[in-house]
Chains A and B, each alone.
Chain A
Amino acid sequence: MLSVFWAVLRRDLLLAFRQRGVLVHHLLFFVLVVALFPLGTGASPAILVTVSPALIWMSVLLAALLSLQRLFKPDYEDGTLEQYLLSPEPLALIALAKVLAYWLASGLIFVLASPLLVLLLGVPASAVPVIMASLLLGTPTLGLVGAIGTALTLSLPRAGLLLSLLIFPLYVPVLIFGAGAMRAAIEGLPAAGALYLLAALLMLGISTAPFAIAAALKISME
């Protein structure tokens, strides 16, 4: 059973590596949104630090939305998705492997890029570990929840707008606790509570989302 999980994970990571231009696009998008924002707020470092949690998390949400649309689309178009559904192995496991590969190739890169960006915004270096932890716990949940939405809208043309309407409301808890942890860290307050809640959301996501993704894929393929 696990051999299919590893096979799909390896395949998608290999694809991400072959098509690394796409990864660079997503990373550039993330960096540019964050970098352009200060041009609009004017030269007040205090304001930038205050809004940085919202800014970082909104950029992550937008970048996730952009990249999620391609999560199942190529497989849907070339017929591989049919083979996932026909497999005797559980579809939820295949879905989990796909989301994990997706996260390793996008979410994890955002996590690794975040220290540089928050330091550019003037956030104290002491807050960086908590910020990275919040992104590390929050971005996989974004991938899991987003995958449900993208699986549901797979057979629709131009599903981008519908996808955002479907998944942004579900991103609210991650946004609240993720930005909350960041804000607490910047103000020097304990952030453990928000991080624990992010971890709880991630566990909830890992244990339930794969089944929802599998059901959504089946509906899309009918």
Chain B
Amino acid sequence: MKRPRLGIRNLSCGRGEKALFQGLDISLVGGEAARVLGENGAGKTTLLRTLGGLQTPLSGEIVWESAQKRDADDPVLLKDELCFVGHDNALNAALTPVENLDVLMRLCGRPVAQPRIRETLAELGLKRLAHRPSGRLSAGQKRRVSLARLWLTDAPLWLLDEPASALDVDSRALLCARMAAHVAAGGIAVFTTHETLNLADVPVRSIELTPC
């Protein structure tokens, strides 16, 4: 089976005219994870947002080669194969976790049935909270609901910004296991983290951002 590839060539990102980092080159293929390293303000979030297409790079390019084949006029784009878990949880406080996840999965073009969302929430220990307004959950519980997308999606590319923030030890272990399984199955995960995330048995590369 063909493996997907994320190519980053000579990438410079920043706000306005000022670059945060310059000349980033890396190529990731399916079956590899990458941890973005750098001090606070080095541009870790900026890099993830740029990879997702939320921000335009100052220079350089991002190439996505999908494992799926379609003709050259209608290629499978990075957007079609992306699961992006940002800094914010993307949960509306007045909607329940099930309603929030239902909309989020439809937005990324991978709708899932509600029973499956409930099952996934139960697996993550959130069964009792599935039908409560999300605004009443604790920070860690909200994060777990937001991360439940990783169990519902089959997108090959994951961009995760501080996925483990506010998580307890058990949830962090679940997250690590899920990320490792995704990468082992031929996916790519690019993440930033301040906690240690131990992805056993899968190669984790480092993307070092040095301020310029």
- Interface residues, chain A, with chain B CB atoms under 8 Å away: 3-4, 7-8, 11, 14-15, 18-19, 74-75, 77-80, 82-89, 94, 221-222
Chain A residues within an 8 Å CB radius of B79: 86-88
CB pair B94–A15 under 8 Å, yes or no, is yes
Chain A residues within an 8 Å CB radius of B203: none
* Majority secondary structure, A binding face: helix
Chain B residues within an 8 Å CB radius of A83: 84, 90, 104, 107-108
CB pair A88–B80 under 8 Å, yes or no, is yes
Chain A residues within an 8 Å CB radius of B107: 4, 7-8, 83-84, 86-87, 89, 94
Contacts A11-B103, A86-B82 given; does A3 touch B111 at CB 8 Å: yes
Query: Which listed residue, B77, B88, B99, B109, touches A11 by the CB 8 Å rule?
Result: B99
Q: B92 at interface (Cβ–Cβ under 8 A)?
A: yes
Chain B residues within an 8 Å CB radius of A14: 95, 99
Interface residues of B in 6-51 (CB under 8 A from A): none
Query: Which listed residue, A8, A19, A78, A222, touches B103 by the CB 8 Å rule?
Result: A8
Q: How far is the CA of A83 from the CA of B149 in the complex (A)?
A: 12
CB pair A86–B95 under 8 Å, yes or no, is no
CB pair B95–A78 under 8 Å, yes or no, is no
CB pair A87–B108 under 8 Å, yes or no, is yes
Q: B89 at interface (Cβ–Cβ under 8 A)?
A: yes
Chain A residues within an 8 Å CB radius of B106: 3-4, 7
Closest to A86 in B: B84
Distance to closest chain B CB from A22 (angstroms): 11
Chain A residues within an 8 Å CB radius of B54: 82, 85-86, 221-222
Q: B52 at interface (Cβ–Cβ under 8 A)?
A: yes
Q: 7 extra interchain contacts, Cβ-Cβ under 8 A, other than A78-B91, A82-B88, A83-B90?
A: A4-B107, A7-B111, A8-B103, A79-B87, A80-B90, A86-B108, A94-B107
Contacts A7-B103, A80-B90 given; does A86 touch B53 at CB 8 Å: yes
Distance to closest chain A CB from B164 (angstroms): 17
Chain B residues within an 8 Å CB radius of A221: 54
Q: How far is the CA of A19 from the CA of B93 in the complex (A)?
A: 11
**Interchain residue pairs with CB less than 8 A apart (13):** A3-B106, A74-B92, A78-B88, A79-B86, A79-B90, A82-B88, A86-B52, A87-B79, A87-B109, A88-B79, A94-B107, A222-B54, A222-B55
Q: How far is the CA of A87 from the CA of B111 in the complex (A)?
A: 12
Distance to closest chain A CB from B85 (angstroms): 9
